[in-house]
């Protein structure tokens, strides 16, 4: 089955700086790569997703890149704000998605 590795497990950045979270996947058949944000006491919420026919996707301050050859995909958050503090999960799959272990992002004001 699919195996998704996510790094780093924790990340602290100063407000206004950029944050990057990286994931690798094992199954070359995976064609769907979503990213979820989980705030304290809430369920994860989709923030951006990308499919295997696209190399990059951007939505305001967040962007995702996908390298199918290397089986890598990354989340980039620019101009971070305190409200970006949360746990972020990457996922990959085709019949079902497998989640990474999560990255706890802390944005320091």
Partner 1 sequence: KAGVTQTPRYLIKTRGQQVTLSCSPISGHRSVSWYQQTPGQGLQFLFEYFSETQRNKGNFPGRFSGRQFSNSRSEMNVSTLELGDSALYLCASSPGGANTGELFFGEGSRLTVL
Looking at 19-27, 53-61, 71-79, 86-94, which segment touches partner 1 (CB under 8 A)? 86-94
Chain centroid, CA 106 distance in Å:
15
Decide: is 45 part of the binding site for partner 1 (CB under 8 A): yes
Q: What is the DSSP string of 11-58?
A: EEEETTS-EEEEEEE--TT--EEEEEEE-TTS--EEEEEEETT-SEEE
Regarding 93 and contact with partner 1 (CB under 8 A), the answer is: yes
Greatest distance between any 2 Cα atoms in the chain: 41
Q: CB–CB of 35/47 below 8 Å?
A: yes
Question: Which of 32, 52, 57, 78 contacts partner 1 by CB under 8 A?
Answer: 32
Nearest residue to 88 via CA among 54, 96, 80: 80
Q: Is 37 a residue that touches partner 1 (CB under 8 A)?
A: no
Applying CB under 8 A, the span of 14-22, 30-38, 53-61, 71-79 interacting with partner 1 comes to 30-38
**Looking at 10-18, 20-28, 44-52, 59-67, which segment touches partner 1 (CB under 8 A)?**
44-52
Select 48 or 77, whichever has its Cβ closest to partner 1.
Answer: 48
Binding site for partner 1 (CB under 8 A): 1, 6, 32, 34, 36, 41-46, 49, 89, 93-102
């Amino acid at each position: 089955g699919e195996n998704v590795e996510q790094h780093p497990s924790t990340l602290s950045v100063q407000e206004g700086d950029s944050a990057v979270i990286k994931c690798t996947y094992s199954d070359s058949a995976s064609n769907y790569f979503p990213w979820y944000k989980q705030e304290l006491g809430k369920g994860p919420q989709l923030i951006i997703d990308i499919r295997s026919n696209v190399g990059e996707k951007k939505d305001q301050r967040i962007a995702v890149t996908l390298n199918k050859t290397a089986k890598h995909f990354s989340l980039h958050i620019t101009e971070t704000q305190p409200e970006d503090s949360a746990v972020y999960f990457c996922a990959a799959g085709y019949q079902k998605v497998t989640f990474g272990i999560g990255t706890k992002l802390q944005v320091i004001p």
